[in-house]
Amino acid sequence: MQRKLLSLLLILAMMLPLGLALAEPAPLTVTVFAGDPFDQPTSDNKIYKLIEEEFGIKFEFEFLAGDLDETLGIKIAGQDYADIMSGSNSAEMLIDAGTYIDLLDYINETDTPNLWAHFEPYMNRITVDGGLYVMPSFGRIYNDAIVNYQNGPAFWIQKKVLAWDNYPTITTPEQYFDLLLRYKEAHPTTEDGLPTSGFEILTDGWRNFCLLNPVQHLMGHPNDGGVFVHWDDNYRVDVFHNKDYSKPYYQKLNEVFQKGLIDQDTFVQNFDQYIAKLSSGRVLGMFDQYWNFQNATDALIARQMYGETYIGLPLVYSEDITDHYIDQPVINVNRGFGISVNCKEPKRIVDMFEALLDDRWQTIFHWGIEGEDYYVENGRYLRTAEQKANAENPVWVNANKARALFFYSPKKEGTMDNGNSWDPALQPELYFDMMSEYDKEFLTSYGMKTPAEFFTPAPPNEPYYPVWQIDLQPYPDMRDINTQMGDIQARDLPRLIMAAPGEFDGMWETFAKTMSDAGQAEYEVFLQGIILEMNERLR
């Protein structure tokens, strides 16, 4: 009996390590291509270490360096695909080239309930010909959305410029550019002796929305991309850049360029140079989307240059126009990670994303580690001043947040079931109380507690909204017209802004005709038809 018991114990002892080995996931290195420039995370990044411990997965990141479309074109030609990829604003190139697998082969209500619940309400919007190729990274709101600041488009201005003019109310381009001119004249250089730059216009690649998009907002319309949709006229579409109502804006830019408010090099600098310029603290203003220049803001905050950080202003052509810069959240179609056909273990990666969507991992991604990066008091998630400063420090973030992975991954936004904000930056208790004293004083001077109070709250979205999500890949003729018009805009609008005195009107007429000759009217009618069909389908 003792011999049998001893044998049984020996067998169990031999099986125990085998059982443990079977329970541990095999190591897997996942290659990642990100269609935007990021810094490489540190080798000891604590969140990536946690992912490796739980899933056995490590990541090798390749971040965009150079032109996005050119880079993607090279990858497509050579079938040089990472395991997971984000094509950023040109993801349709990858979808059209067959780069991605259909994720619906792996995502379903039974096997991946988190992912299914996340995407199912939006399937009629996010699928392409019945397939899901990219997991949208932003715009999936749970419970209530919180808006404390404008993360999207605005005319931005350094806070110190408004403080210098005794906190004026600025609502029109005339008031805005007048203030920038007066401040630059009074402060031709910064305290560090750098030349003051009055107004920057980024034109690098797809980010040239900084040049192209302002007029739709000046007209009281949200961001539909390159068109203006007349909601009160059966959704008639304008490619607006050469329309009569666009001319005053570009003519104003021409006027202030001649006065030296816009630097000569603004139209040739790339994105990195633009961010470096903003990070120096010498740029007074620009039109942009906040998420596009947030790295510059983080750099300024890290150096406690709070006066040089920016506040968004919802400028309109005239005070009888209601601003419409903030819109209701929109699921971010085709923007996020897809899994490439080169990936050897797609199910394992899908299973990882499924697990990363549970509340525990989402809290880690958004807030960090309890006790280290935030604390809980009476059920509310809070941060000390040191924890908040860490979260705003790019060097700390690189070692303690999985920023590049999480940016492109499916994520929960809005509020948790327990009432806390998923995004720490939107947690009501933290937003004002944890601000710098400079920012508190600045907002108090305007009688406000949040930067969002400068803007009119968002009305409901139109069913189709926004046009920029419409995929033109299945319509090559329309895609060609759109590309040709984009090339004309990118070439001629900077020339108009830099035109010599007296030449603007003649050049504008030539530009308007060139746009029209490129097939503009045909394109407008086509988009109107698409919008009307989408409204019928999505109502």
Which of the four pLDDT bands, split at 50, 70 and 90, describes residue 2?
very low
Across the chain, mean pLDDT equals 93
Shortest CA distance to 104 belongs to which of 94, 91, 115? Answer: 115
DSSP H helices, 24-45, are none
Check: pTM over 0.85? Answer yes or no. no
Beta strand extents in 309-445 (DSSP E only) = 310-313, 336-339, 375-377, 380-382, 413-414
Name the token pair of 241: 């850049």
- So what's the pLDDT on residue 16? 47
- So what's the pLDDT on residue 76? 97
Torsion sign (Cα): 407, 410, 414, 420: negative
The size of the chain, in residues, is 539
Task: For residue range 459-514, list pLDDT tens digits in order.
Answer: 999 999 999 988 888 899 999 999 999 999 999 999 999 999 899 999 999 999 99
Task: For residue range 512-524, list pLDDT tens digits in order.
Answer: 999 999 999 999 9
Task: For residue range 391-443, list pLDDT tens digits in order.
Answer: 989 899 999 999 999 999 999 999 999 999 999 989 988 888 878 999 999 99
Mean pLDDT of 19-35: 79
Q: What angle do CA 485, 486, 492 make, to 5 degrees?
A: 85
Cis peptide before 188 (omega within 30 of 0): no
Q: CA–CA separation, 255 vs 250, rounded Å?
A: 9
Fold topology of 28-143+331-425: D-Maltodextrin-Binding Protein; domain 2 (3.40.190)
Task: For residue range 306-352, list pLDDT tens digits in order.
Answer: 999 999 999 999 989 999 999 988 899 989 999 999 999 999 999 99
Beta strand extents in 92-205 (DSSP E only) = 135-136, 141-142, 153-158, 197-200
* Percent of the chain predicted with pLDDT > 90: 82
Mean pLDDT of 242-263: 98
Fold identical between 28-143+331-425 and 153-325+435-538? yes
Does pLDDT of 388 surpass 80? yes
Does pLDDT of 171 surpass 50? yes
Fold topology of 153-325+435-538: D-Maltodextrin-Binding Protein; domain 2 (3.40.190)
Q: What is the DSSP string of 50-116?
A: HHHHHH-EEEEEEE--S-HHHHHHHHHHHT---SEEE-GGGHHHHHHTT-B--GGGT--TTT-HHHH
Q: What is the DSSP string of 364-377?
A: HHHH-SBTTTBEEE
The domain spans of the chain are 28-143+331-425, 153-325+435-538
